[in-house]
Chain A
């Protein structure tokens, strides 16, 4: 018996219906997307309409010096969600981890997608790449260096989404001493819009949110100074943290097993980088809204910020100076103090000597001047 051929879905709406997503569930997703992107609720129907009509965009996913954690984050959900349905219906034409093809066939798929969708496809990058100055052999795919593949692939792209802190800021490969000379995507790509979706890994909803906006409006989201979508990276973890009231009251956990830790007090002194970290964890949470690091009792590492690996120990409070500079400053201060004290002692000595040698001014002496 011939297996009925399922028609290839043409639009996102078709795809969702094929996958059994109800209209109601879809509209809920659109409303959530609207609120995530800080749009008025009245925009939800517009998003729904646009998504239903949206053609499946071609997406080429390049994986360079990465751990596949970002892909895992996006795909390993506990239950099928609208997010991964969106991933299902984008035409993911090239993705190492997910594609069935291998070898020449895989690379051929990439080239074909680039050719057929020239000027319209999205490139998603995870992982950093060895920079122009370093050995291109440190990371290659099918004998092509990451740098060359990125430049080739991006040439005909509409935009680039750098997923994960490695692609956005260099991440772990770039951490000191950066043996592979790793650089971020935005260090290489200057002539196309690059959206950084940082995090190690990023919140999955943030990736789908950015894709949804592109599908809906054909535009890219408003970005912050690090080219991260403002809708998700506009506020610090600290500002949205449910433990913030304890910080304001000065109630801190001092160790991981003290009374404060058990009572859920602020983790600032245990090294929480929440105050300097901009991300959506505190509001969107992880694992389908189950929890997030601070809620599980662990301080924020600041994984969505540039160079967070080199920003001192994860368990040092933010007020503790990073690395050796504390000691250097202390030594410099002590040196300066010693010099200052020495100089002032010399000065005092000079003044005392002048005083000891004081020649009294007398009227007779003054009179000689007249």
Chain B
């Protein structure tokens, strides 16, 4: 074990220099549109938070070692070098001021996927020892205990007992050959236990064959957030092993944004093979049930509701219409935020920002964009479908003394199910 060093970090960055990175760096036209798309820049006005600038160390290395001119300049002793100091200076830019929400990638006129490169640049930060403490701790806990918050099965078991008592239903555990393996996030288990009860009731209502797995209940992936493909692969592998052990046909990612992109999109690349099962976000499954007529609801929410689209779900995965179909099912007075769907603004807490205590102030600064959006439509409550977004919305609204409760969409659906006639 050599430990983390500058050279190891640079080596990790070199590994990430693929064709997309090369073409992105060479096609940047320095227009600055990405700055206007970034909540961290927009709310602070500090030019160092311009998204493409956050990649400067990686760009320098690319120019110096992967371009002809850069190499020639290097030969005659010109051009800047990436130093350990520089990486230390960029650590807050790459972690604290970026939730990898991908809005910059969306607006880039030359199509540069900046969020994709931020993810790669973080590999170099981890290997050079410049990852934030909060994320390191979360990663260590995730690998060692199975949960980034250090949660263990016995904690979940208590919740399961509680759900079973309150709903009178059985929560299936380790059921071989079930259609769906349900994963959870630690955040939900601790902050929003109503989620587990909601899906227990919905799946019972719709007659869905599902199960939890003792072997792996955690869907979140600290490796994706800190930017280590090795850690990410370890965590994805656990999900895959559990799903394969139970022989399930589908895996459901919980109300969590990055967990979904981690398993759905990054996972197969991380472990280097395709899955023998399909991956859905819970919202996709619910909308499928709705379309099949398996969700019978009664009554509607009458207050003015608006919705926050999680970046990972809407912008990065195209899950946009599904949650709106579900809202139509149970809400009478639903109004979208002005910029929603793929152009929505990030809550400010994703991409590991919420696990990084140092980023607290920036996280709240970025939230001001969301706050302004909410103020525009003046809803009585906000609905969302990501535990991190939900926590951030709750904390942020409280911080600004806005009395707007936040609810999870899955729970709201569960509240409107037609009661089964008990035999």
Contacts and interface: CB of A to CB of B under 8 A. Distances in A.
A354 B139 CA distance: 24
A362 interface: yes
A347 B139 contact: no
Interface in A354-370: 354-355, 357-370
A212 B212 CA distance: 100
Contacts of A38: none
B66 A366 contact: no
A201 B18 CA distance: 62
Interface residues of B, number: 33
B14 A354 contact: yes
Interface string A199-224: 00000000000000000000000000
B22 A347 contact: yes
A320 interface: no
A-side interface size class: 20 to 34
Interface in B129-160: 129, 131, 133, 136-137, 139-140, 142-144
Interface stretch (B2-10, B94-102, B363-371, B409-417): B2-10
A367 B230 contact: no
Contacts of B1: 364-365
B225 to A, nearest CB: 13
A351 interface: yes
B68 A363 contact: no
A359 B66 contact: no
Interface string A317-359: 0000000000000000000000110011001001101110111
A343 B65 contact: no
Contacts of A351: 14-15, 17-18
Nearest to B228: A361
B262 interface: no
B44 interface: no
A351 to B, nearest CB: 5
B15 A355 contact: yes
Given A363-B144, A370-B133, A370-B137, A354 B230 contact: no
A250 to B, nearest CB: 34
Contacts, number: 70
A344 to B, nearest CB: 8
Nearest to B16: A351
A359 to B, nearest CB: 6
B269 interface: no
Contacts of A343: 66-68, 71
A335 to B, nearest CB: 12
B-side interface mostly: helix
B140 A361 contact: no
B337 interface: no
Given A361-B127, A362-B230, A367 B15 contact: no
A361 B22 CA distance: 25
B144 A339 contact: no
Contact of B2 (A347, A353, A359, A370): A359
A213 B121 CA distance: 73
B129 A369 contact: yes
Nearest to B130: A369
B12 interface: yes
Contacts of A361: 126-127, 228, 230-231
Contacts of A360: 230
Interface in B32-84: 65-68, 71
Nearest to B13: A354
Contacts of A339: 68
Contacts of A355: 15
A366 B140 contact: yes
A367 B140 contact: yes
B11 interface: yes
Contact of B11 (A354, A364, A368, A370): A354
Contacts of A367: 136, 140
A171 B234 CA distance: 78
B67 A370 contact: no
Interface string B286-304: 0000000000000000000
A344 B22 CA distance: 9
Contacts of A357: 11
Nearest to A342: B68
Interface of B: 1-4, 8, 11-12, 14-15, 17-18, 22, 65-68, 71, 126-127, 129, 131, 133, 136-137, 139-140, 142-144, 228, 230-231, 234
- 8 pairs of A and B residues whose beta carbons are closest in the complex: A363-B143, A354-B14, A347-B66, A354-B15, A361-B230, A361-B228, A343-B68, A360-B230
19 contacts: A344-B22, A354-B11, A354-B12, A361-B126, A361-B230, A362-B230, A363-B139, A363-B142, A363-B234, A365-B3, A365-B4, A366-B126, A366-B131, A366-B140, A366-B231, A367-B140, A369-B129, A369-B131, A370-B137
